[in-house]
Structure 1
Amino acid sequence: MRRKKRPVRRLKSSAGLRNNAEKRLERYRLGLSKGYEQGLKAGLDNYEAYFEGTSIIIPSDNEVESVKACIEGIMDHTDLAYEIIVIDNSSTDGIEHYLNQLDGQVRYRILPESIGFTGAANIGFMMAKGTSILLLNNRIQPTENWLENLLLCLNSDDSIGLVGPVSNGLSGKQRMEIHFDDLEDKHEYARVNNKSDSSKWHQTDRLSGCCLLFRRELLERVGYLDEGCQETPYYADDYGLRVKLQGSSLVYARDALVYFAEQAEERVERQMSQAGHPDSSLYFSNKWRGIDSVIFDMEASAYGRDEWFKGMSAESGAKLGESAFYPQHLAVKGLGETIYWIEDCVRRPINGQWGESVICLSQLDLWRWAMGEPVPAEALTAFKGFLGEDEALRDGMLCEDSNGSSYYLENGRKRAIISRLAAECWGLDAHRQMKLTDEELSVIPDGLPIIAPVKLLQAL
């Protein structure tokens, strides 16, 4: 029986091969596009979805061994829900290879260039997905119950803003003298010390920036670290002042002992504050030069919280957060191109050409003001011009007392300008200024003081 001949498969022409390749490439592009769209949608849908746990932010700068020890300590001594986020300042010590080997256990970002400790911390804050956030120096070595006790302290009272531990490497009230050479002995000592005890929680005027725990709500109210303060202790002192300005307290927990990996018994506070970093000191001094300690005595001073927020609903004041200490009747913008006019605690998009000054703020600062109706640029230009022609006291004018202190008039109140830096940052030094007697000023009710916005060296 003769078999049928199989049909001969002819080789396709080069044109046909090219056509098939183009079809495969097109299907690949289509699949890639669909996958990107689905991933983008999933990311946007979950952008504000936070988990009940703590985001631990660890900045680094050529400190891979310290980062390793810190991460291992967290994993060994933390049973609560957490995520670790490492932000590295363009290190060349192989940290990216190390972090990549952790198979997704740690979220990280390697920056193309160094932006300093506070800049890296701010990126970590932006990436954080936890309902609480902890800024951690990579030379801190966690111990048993460290995070549990810090969280217990933080959540014990809504008025607590920041919580810190005690350690051998810190200064002031947070320093605990420990004289063990063996790490196991140290951990045994910490295990005994770190039994939860609310009697060991104490208020303080300042906290170290090496380990700071706070709620997400505080970040939304107070905002990012000031990148004008790059060194210890200035960035932590600045943040502490801003937290206290809103009536929240700073607390250290002596039942949360952690260790600081010291070299030759150098304290971190002393080591990082040596000469050679004068800019942070000068910037901090210029920013807070006019602050008075009486401001923080909320019950006894004329700047009491109730008096400050009079005329503003409690809900509005809480939502505004630090933006309540920013002036109004000026133009601001965030990351986008839209310019907003701030008035009556809302931001109004400016329609038309705006040729006046614009203050750039972070998105956190901008979002606190509710969105209002658009306003024509022509109307605002007329308002700005009005200030220079009329001798009457009007919103947006500056007044000066006999001591040279300046006040900003806004909604029938005088707002003390904390420092010259605050006036310069908001462009208030260019406003029309009137000299008033102390008697004339005394009849104008006090409003919230005006502080300088945080300096950001990056877009956030």
Structure 2
Amino acid sequence: MRRRRSLRIYSRVSTQNYLRGYHASFASGYLAGKQAAAASFHQPFEGTSIIIPTFNQLKYLRSCIESIKKYTQQPYELIIIDNGSKDGTAAYLKSLKGRVRYKIFKVNLGFAGGVNQGLMMAKGTSIVILNNDTLLTKDWLSNLLTCLSSDPSIGLVGPVTNNLSNDQKIAVNYKTTREMQRFASSYNRSNPERWRRSKVIFGFCLLLRRDVLKRVGYLDEGYVNGTCEDVDYYLRIRLLGLDLVIAEDTFIHHYGSVTMRSFRDASRHNHVYFREKWGDWQQIGRLETVMDSAQPDENRKASDFYPTHILVKGTDSNVYWVEHGIRFAVRGGEPAGPAVRLPQLDLWNWPIGADISAESLLRKIAALSTPIPDLTEGGLAQTEDGEMYQYRLGKLHRIVTKQACTAWNFQQRYIKPISHDEKNRYAEGLPIIAPPIVKAGNI
């Protein structure tokens, strides 16, 4: 009897020791895992981030996600940005229980705003920007990745489809989803001879590398809801000397403008904004010359098309003076004049230099605002026909539009009138474009 009681006590003590050891080990392992996850949070993974902005149209989103899961064999993460849907999209995303990463917004950020939120979350070494009204097909991602990785001069890759307004559209005769998938299974055979460089590529499905994202930055949220932001983005990528490639060996289904049918006014606004930012087609033709003559250069980035001698800021309270590709933190007082707000990706493309005092900065800006007989570094000039330039390191850099001039707060600077003969004495440097508008605070 006494022995049986001793055994029960021993068993109870052993169990308690076991549980204490288990819980201690669990807590230790959980903490170690949490710390490891936090340490690697900003590290990219060898896979693809698939970003889908969505607004209502739950039926299409659900079908799109199901097709991704069924036909994507490569490592990927799925990021959904809900732009204020009212049709149960938020509840659906929550029901997926960790199989996707998502953000749910109460308001519509627009296509560009939604994509930018996804880009900020993305961890993949490659990134797909995808419409919610698409159906993915056999080998779609492997084919596009093969094309993208074939040449470092490729900046964007897109597939062909059944419904689009450019030459990415091909003729199809299927009637059902099952027939479409049979067609795609036969069609999607990786073949470099079917990769075609193009000057235009539309944004229903875009693949790019992370290093290209770091160089070109985010989409411009000056475009509301949708249309034109993909054109803006590929123009900026082409300015880097990178190519657009249509992978004609890869087909995905596109229902077409499902989300955008209610946004006719947005389309009109976006076309006006596009023209104000880039100019007319003659002006864009001049940029085409820069694009076509650009040699592949992995060091070229969006900030190379920004001016010098400017005040900028990111998402925190720091203000920087940018001069000849280096940013200097302004210290010791209020900066002289308003600073242009830029995304952090753009700021990081300028290496940091020593601090600059507010007093010294005031003198620099005063000098640029005072009429002088000769062009000086960072000074502005204007020809008789109204074209504006900034002088930098012996070259004149054309400011492509009035909007670009306004965006960089050049209104208060002195603008020296010059003749065409005077202008032609200088070599012409890279053009100066307006920076993208990015409204989100957490970047």
TM value normalised by structure 2:
0.87
Contact 2:109 2:225 in 1 (8 A): no
Q: Which residue of 2 aligns with 1:332?
A: 312
Contact 1:171 1:269 in 2 (8 A): no
Contact 1:61 1:91 in 2 (8 A): yes
Residue 285 (structure 2) pairs with residue 305 (structure 1): no
Distance 1:167 1:219, change over 3 A: same
Question: Counterpart of 1:224 in 2: which secondary structure?
Answer: coil
Q: Which residue of 2 aligns with 1:348?
A: 328
- CA positional deviation for 1:268: 6.2
Q: Which residue of 1 aligns with 2:59?
A: 65
Q: Deviations over 1:235-273 (max 9, x none)?
A: 1100010011111111111111011235xxxx6699477
- CA positional deviation for 1:228: 1.1
Partners of 2:232 and 2:278 in 1: CA distance: 8
Q: Which residue of 1 aligns with 2:15?
A: none
Partners of 1:148 and 1:425 in 2: CA distance: 41
Q: Alignment length, in residue pairs?
A: 411
| Amino acid of the structure 2 residue aligned with 1:305 | A
Residue 322 (structure 2) pairs with residue 322 (structure 1): no
Q: Which residue of 2 aligns with 1:21?
A: none
Equivalent runs, 1:32-431 vs 2, <5 Å: 42=36, 44-261=38-255, 271=261, 274-275=264-265, 277-289=267-279, 291-298=283-290, 304-305=293-294, 317-318=299-300, 321-353=301-333, 354-387=335-368, 388-431=370-413
Partners of 1:86 and 1:62 in 2: CA distance: 12
- CA positional deviation for 1:103: 2.2
Contact 2:215 2:302 in 1 (8 A): yes
Question: Counterpart of 1:434 in 2: which secondary structure?
Answer: strand
Distance 1:140 1:283, change over 3 A: same
Q: Deviations over 1:203-254 (max 9, x none)?
A: 1111111101100111100000001123554011000100111111111111
| Amino acid of the structure 1 residue aligned with 2:417 | K
| Residue ranges of structure 1 left out of the alignment (5+ in a row) | 1-33
Question: Counterpart of 2:359 in 1: which secondary structure?
Answer: helix
Distance 1:206 1:269, change over 3 A: farther
Q: Deviations over 1:362-386 (max 9, x none)?
A: 0001111101000111111111112
Partners of 1:206 and 1:280 in 2: CA distance: 18
| Amino acid of the structure 2 residue aligned with 1:397 | G
Question: Counterpart of 1:252 in 2: which secondary structure?
Answer: strand
Q: Deviations over 1:134-163 (max 9, x none)?
A: 000011000101111111111111111111
Distance 1:192 1:335, change over 3 A: same
Q: Deviations over 1:93-115 (max 9, x none)?
A: 22222222222111111013221
Q: Deviations over 1:366-420 (max 9, x none)?
A: 1111010001111111111123053321123211123221101123321100111
Partners of 2:67 and 2:226 in 1: CA distance: 23
Distance 1:36 1:63, change over 3 A: farther
Q: Deviations over 1:425-452 (max 9, x none)?
A: 0012321111111121112222211000
CA RMSD of superposed structures (Å): 2.4
Contact 1:398 1:434 in 2 (8 A): yes
Question: Counterpart of 1:110 in 2: which secondary structure?
Answer: strand
Equivalent runs, 1:435-446 vs 2, <5 Å: 435-446=417-428
| Amino acid of the structure 2 residue aligned with 1:324 | D
Partners of 1:103 and 1:270 in 2: CA distance: 29
- CA positional deviation for 1:43: 5.2
Identity of aligned residues (%): 37
The counterpart of 2:432, out of the listed 442, 446, 450, is: 450
Distance 1:113 1:351, change over 3 A: same
Distance 1:247 1:273, change over 3 A: farther
Contact 1:169 1:268 in 2 (8 A): no
| Residue ranges of structure 2 left out of the alignment (5+ in a row) | 1-27
Question: Counterpart of 2:428 in 1: which secondary structure?
Answer: coil
Question: Counterpart of 2:330 in 1: which secondary structure?
Answer: strand
Q: Which residue of 1 aligns with 2:13?
A: none
TM value normalised by structure 1:
0.84
Q: Which residue of 2 aligns with 1:16?
A: none
Partners of 1:149 and 1:246 in 2: CA distance: 24
Distance 1:422 1:38, change over 3 A: farther
| Amino acid of the structure 2 residue aligned with 1:241 | L
Contact 1:149 1:194 in 2 (8 A): yes
| Amino acid of the structure 1 residue aligned with 2:163 | G
Distance 1:110 1:338, change over 3 A: same
Contact 2:51 2:80 in 1 (8 A): yes
Contact 2:309 2:378 in 1 (8 A): yes
| Amino acid of the structure 2 residue aligned with 1:458 | A
Partners of 2:197 and 2:46 in 1: CA distance: 26
Distance 1:123 1:276, change over 3 A: closer
Contact 2:49 2:79 in 1 (8 A): yes
Q: Deviations over 1:342-373 (max 9, x none)?
A: 01211111112213121111000111110100
Contact 1:50 1:130 in 2 (8 A): yes
